[in-house]
Amino acid sequence: MRMLNGDIQPDYADVASALIRQIPRRSLGGAAACVYHRGEKVVDIWGGTRDAEGNPWCEDTTAISFSTTKGVVSTLMHVLIEQGLADYDDPIARYWPEFGAHGKETITIRQALCHTAGLYRLDEMISRPEEMLDWEHMKQRIADARPAHEPGAQHAYHALTYGWLMGGIIEAVAGRALQRVLQEELVDPLGLDGMFIGMPHNEMFRRATLAESKLPHWEPRDGWQRKTYELVEAVLGRFGVELAETRSMSIDMSDFDWNSEAAVQAMIPAVNGQFTARSLARMYAMIAGGGQIDGVRLLSEARVSEITSLRSDRRDRALQLPMQWRMGYHRAFSLGKQAPEAFGHYGYGGSGAFCDPSRDLAVAMTVNSGSGTPMGDTRMPRIARASIKAIDRLK
C-alpha cells in the first residue's frame, strides 16, 4: 500500500493524489513534492522507498535530479550578477582567459545561459564518460572546445556541457570553488536543507539511489534499423531537423553507474545535483516572489523580470523542440494548464522544479524510479497541473 508522509494544506489534496501515483505499486522507488504559494510552504510530502534495500524515503532524503540541476546553476549565476561581480554581456574570457581559445573570445555569459554558445557537442570533447568525474579536466575540455556554430546565432541545448561551462564561469567570476559559492550564496541565505552539486561524504547517507543506475543508450543496428534511421534522418533534414546534432549532445553512458560514490561526489553541474524537493521549491519561491522570500532578498525585481523574459520561441537545434528559453530556464510543461509565464528546469528521470511569478507559485518534485526525458515523462507535468489547478481554484 502506497502512503505519504509530511504536511499538506487541504486545498492542495490533488497534489498528493498526483504524487502517490508516481510511486511504484509493486517495485522499489519513491518521490517527494513541495509547493510554495505566496512565499508559504503549502505542500511538503514524500513517500516510497529510497534504495534497493527498501529503506523508506525520509524527510531529508535527496535524489539525483539530472537536468533540474541546470536551474540551480543558472540561479546561482544570476545571484552573482546581481551582486555586481559580472554582467550578462561580458565576454566569458574576461574572467576565464583560457576559455577564449578557438574563436570563443567573444562568447558572452548571456549566450552561455541561453544555450547559444555552440558548445553542446560532448562527443567532440571526450570519449569516455569516466572523464566527466574530473572537474578540472572537464573545464579544460570546455576551454579547448570549438563552437559548433556562430555563437548567438542558434539555440542548441547544452545537455551535459552546460554544467562545466556555467560552473567554470561561476568559479572565475566569484574566485571561489563552485561548491563553496553554492553554499554561501544560495544554500545558507535561503536556509536550504538539501542542495548539493558534488555530495560531501558526510551527507551520502541521505541520498536516494536510482532504481536503474545506468541510462539506456540507443543506436540503430545494421540492416533495417540503420536504413530506416538514415531515411528518416534524410527526410527530416529537408525540414532543417538534424538528428546528428541531437546525438552529439552525449556519448554512450550505458555502462556509467550514476549510483556510484564517484558519480555522486563528482561535480557534474548539468546533471548530478542532489536535492530535496523542499530546497528546489524554496529556491524557485524566492524567484516567484520577485527575488525575495522571508525577508531575504537575493535578486531585485528588475533582475527577475529580465531573467524570466522569453528569449526564443524557435525550435532548439539539438532537442528539435521549441523550448521557449529564458536565461537558463525553459518553459514549464503542465499538461494543458495555461501557464505562459511559468519557467524552470525539468530533468531526465522525472524530476523537475519551476515557478510561475504570475501566480507566486513554486513547485518541485524529486524521484528515483523510472526514466525518461522531460518531454517524454509526464510525472512532473502532472504535479505541475495539480498545483496550478489548486491555485486557480483559490482565486
Higher pLDDT residue, 296 or 369? Answer: 296
Which alpha helices (H) appear in 238-357, and where do they start and end?
Answer: 243-248, 261-265, 277-288, 301-308
pLDDT of residue 372: 54
270 and 230 Cβ atoms separated by less than 8 Å: no
Query: What are 44-56's pLDDT values in tens digits?
Result: 999 999 999 999 9
pLDDT of residue 224: 43
Task: Please report where in the chains the cell 556541457 appears, as a residue.
Answer: 161
- Answer yes or no: is pLDDT of 236 > 80: no
Dist. CA 120–CA 20, nearest whole Å: 36
Tell me the average pLDDT across 99-115: 96
pLDDT of residue 254: 82
pLDDT of residue 220: 43
| The Cα angle at residue 330 between residues 166 and 137, in degrees rounded to 5 | 20
- Answer yes or no: is pLDDT of 169 > 90: yes
Lowest mean pLDDT among 14-18, 159-163, 247-251, 354-358: 247-251
Task: Please report where in the chains the cell 534497493 appears, as a residue.
Answer: 52
Query: What are 188-231's pLDDT values in tens digits?
Result: 999 999 999 999 999 999 999 998 766 655 444 445 444 443 44
Lowest mean pLDDT among 28-32, 95-99, 232-236, 304-308: 232-236
Higher pLDDT residue, 26 or 296? Answer: 296
- Answer yes or no: is pLDDT of 255 > 50: yes
pLDDT of residue 227: 47
Q: How sure is the predictor about 338, in pLDDT bands with cuts at 50, 70 and 90?
A: confident
Q: Which residues, 6 or more positions from 92, have their beta carbon under 8 angstroms from its beta carbon? A: 99, 100, 104, 107, 108, 109, 112, 169, 172
pLDDT of residue 242: 45
Q: What are the start-end ranges of the E strands in the chain?
A: 4-8, 30-37, 40-48, 63-64, 195-197, 273-275, 292-293, 296-297, 330-331, 343-346, 352-356, 361-367
| Grid coordinates of 261 | 560514490
Dist. CA 54–CA 217, nearest whole Å: 27
Higher pLDDT residue, 336 or 263? Answer: 263
Dist. CA 114–CA 329, nearest whole Å: 8
pLDDT of residue 216: 56
Query: What average pLDDT is seen over the chain?
Result: 88
Among residues 264, 281, 287, 121, which one has the least CA distance to residue 206? 264
106 and 153 Cβ atoms separated by less than 8 Å: no
Tell me the average pLDDT across 111-126: 94
**DSSP bridge partners of 336:** none
Q: Is the dihedral of CA 128, 129, 134, 140 positive or negative?
A: positive
Task: Please report where in the chains the cell 503542465 appears, as a residue.
Answer: 334
Name, of 76-80, 127-131, 251-255, the range with top average pLDDT.
76-80
* Residue numbers annotated as active site: 67
Range 330-369 burial, b when 16+ CB lie within 10 A, else e:
bbbbbeebebeebbbbbbbbbbbbbbbbebbbbbbbbbbb
pLDDT of residue 326: 82
**DSSP bridge partners of 361:** 37, 356
Q: What is the DSSP letter of 56?
A: B
pLDDT of residue 240: 40
**DSSP bridge partners of 303:** none
Tell me the average pLDDT across 338-356: 90
Question: Rounded to a whole number, what is the largest CA-CA distance in the chain?
Answer: 63
Domains of the chain (ranges plus CATH)? 4-213+252-393 (3.40.710.10)
In whole angstroms, what separates CA 185 from the centre of its chain?
18
pLDDT of residue 308: 86
pLDDT of residue 238: 40
Query: Strand 30-37 to strand 4-8: parallel, antiparallel, or no bridges (unpaired)?
Result: unpaired
pLDDT of residue 1: 46
**DSSP bridge partners of 33:** 45, 365
Higher pLDDT residue, 371 or 86? Answer: 86
